[in-house]
Structure 1
Amino acid sequence: MTDVIASLSEISAPYDVLYCDLWGCLHNGKALFPQAVSALQTFRAKGGAVVLLTNAPRTKHAVKRRLDQMGLPEDAYDAIAASGDATQIAMLQGAAGRKLWHLGPGKDEDLFSIIPDWLQDQPAIERVPFEEAEGIICTGPFDEFNDTPEDYRGRFLAAKTRGLKMLCANPDLVVDLGEQRIICAGALAQLYEEMGGEVLSFGKPHPPVYDVARNALAAKGITYENDAILAIGDGIRTDLRGAQGEGIDALFVTGGLEADRFGPDVEYPDPALLTAWLKAEDLHPRYTIGRLR
């Protein structure tokens, strides 16, 4: 059974490292949650390290730019590990070929333009029209506010027939941008897979992004064991299943994507509803909190 807590500080003492999700935990896509920011600052002030572990289909550089714009203080975290970073490594190493069709908005340009030094010697990736592609890199729909997965069924049928692999840069199905729920690359990848296409995913719950997180802290001289990590997230398919797969403890933030499931008070999830739902989903987060604070 999960323990419902009121604040991170109640249970943080045994942990050296936090893997903290962004959307739904630290911000809503438009504004930061001040109490969540304060919780991370307090954890670091006591000697802990924080990795902002996100399924954003962009590199850590683009994620940091956005967090800077939102006003996130740099003393709230040590490193950023993004699904886009893990996807970029696979892309540059030729996981889906060298000629790729990019399915996604222009804001994900950094995947192709900001190349880590240790990958500079890899052959160049060429972005080509769909008809010339050896593979697909999917960072989301072209129009995330209006498109649906079904809009891409015809193109996916042609891609599957040609045997094109899809690199999925964000396994999330949806995300809440303020009050609006929009689809992510994971929803497109799910349809392609259901149609028989081959999908390779790199963000939570899949191992590559956790390797990026470990390497990011190792580069700062910070090493740790799994039992010293607490993963914080609101996504059941991504954050919670990813933590279970990695064998690390999790703090489930119910006030994010699943906020409507656990009673009228988003700050205090109903224990009976929570327990029944977690059992049905076969999820076992060690701790649960309404909102990160």
Structure 2
Amino acid sequence: MKPLDHLADLYDKYDTFLCDIWGVLHNGVVAYPPARTALEKARQEGKCVFLMTNSPKPRAWVASQLRAFGLSSSCYDGIITSGDVTLDMIREGSRRIFHIGPDKDRCLYDGLGVELVGEFSAAVVVCTGLFKNKTPADYKPLLYRLCSRNLPFICVNPDIIVQRGEEMHWCAGALAQIYTQFGGNILVSGKPHRPIYDVACGMVKERTGQPVNKSRILAIGDGILTDVKGAYLYGLDVLFIGAGLHVNEYAVDGEIASDKLDTFLEKFHMQPTAFMMSLS
């Protein structure tokens, strides 16, 4: 794994960057200006930059959130969200949906013609996240009841946990794990699963007008089980950002302990192509 100082060090090897958002460009509270500048410079050098996120929201909503953080479209060519990719699963499924997640996520269903119903009337479960101040354990009785009826469980955000400022917040992927443990049927489109990467490559092809060459694409992210694993499974090189989600696993007094980092990566049998503490 090659340690890097700047993304520009990889310009000769890659033409396209698929960059995670949360944990790389911002932490849910503040943006990281050096990361924005790095992506802007890449585009100025003729590189393609697409943002890939497991957000359950549509890309227009994510773009609006990015603007609020001072991250304009000058630093990317397009956005791929797990929410958008999951829409096909929702369209192809039953119209009677039991929604698990905050009410603000219900914008996902706009224009789909679905009916949001109670758990006992539903034919499919769609999970976008947890309610505030709830833990995965709080949902176990509900998930067990749903699983006992053999309802498919569409997980819109495969992330298990994210960091918001100094706090950690559970995501829909944590509930999907429980549903799987109960023997339930999980349907997932976001990272680390293939559908979101297929969509991303389709957007790259459309943008460049050329066949996609995976060896010229670099994924960038801070999640070992989403960004790194997803890139590995799809056959892409990956730049691991160390200051994100897992930093407490291998940092000592704010500095990376190389032995701890090696142990962390070995635990997941992952070996990223390159490492950078923060994107710059």
Q: Does the pair score TM above 0.5? A: yes
Q: In structure 1, what is the equivalent of residue 33 of structure 2?
A: 34
Amino acid at match of 2:147: K
**Residue in 1 aligned with 2:172?**
185
Q: For residue 20 of structure 2, what is the aligned residue in structure 1?
A: 21
Matched residue, 1:98: 95
1:140 aligns with 2:129: yes
Separation in 2 of the partners of 1:218 and 1:57?
Answer: 24
Amino acid at match of 1:243: A
**Structure 1 regions of 5+ residues with no counterpart?**
116-123
Q: Tell me the residue number matched to 1:171.
A: 158
**1:149 to 2:136 alignment:** yes
Letter in 2 for 1:104: G
Q: How does 1:6-155 map to 2 (within 5 A)?
A: 6-94=5-93, 97-113=94-110, 124-141=113-130, 143=131, 145-155=132-142
Residue 237 of structure 1 deviates from its aligned partner by 0.6
Structure 2 partner of 1:263: 251
Stretches of structure 2 that go unaligned for 5 or more consecutive residues are none
Q: One-letter code of the match for 1:215?
A: G
Any idea what SS the aligned residue of 1:131 has?
coil
* Residues paired across the two proteins, number: 279
Distance 1:182 1:55 in 2: 14
- The TM-score with structure 1 as length reference comes to 0.91
d(CA) in 1 for partners of 2:147 and 2:277? 42
User: Do structure 1's residue 210 and structure 2's residue 209 form an aligned pair?
Assistant: no
Cα deviation, residue 172, structure 1 = 0.5
Distance in 1 (alpha carbons) for counterparts of 2:278 and 2:97: 40
Show CA shifts across 1:259-284 (max 9, x none).
11223364x52322222321222001
Aligned counterparts of 1:284 and 1:257: Cα–Cα separation in 2: 17
1:272 aligns with 2:253: no
C-alpha distance in 1 between matches for 2:208 and 2:60: 20
- Percent identity at matched positions? 37
Extract structure 1 runs of 4+ deviating beyond 4 A: none
Deviation at 1:152, TM superposition (A): 1.2
CA distance in 1, matches of 2:143, 2:169: 20
Partner of 2:270: 283
1:31: how far off? 1.8
TM-score (normalizing by structure 2): 0.95
For residues 265 and 42 of structure 1, do their structure 2 counterparts lie closer, same or farther at Cα, with a shift above 3 Å needed? Answer: farther
Contact 1:78-1:217 at 8 Å conserved across structures: no
Counterparts of 2:96 and 2:264, CA distance in 1 = 44
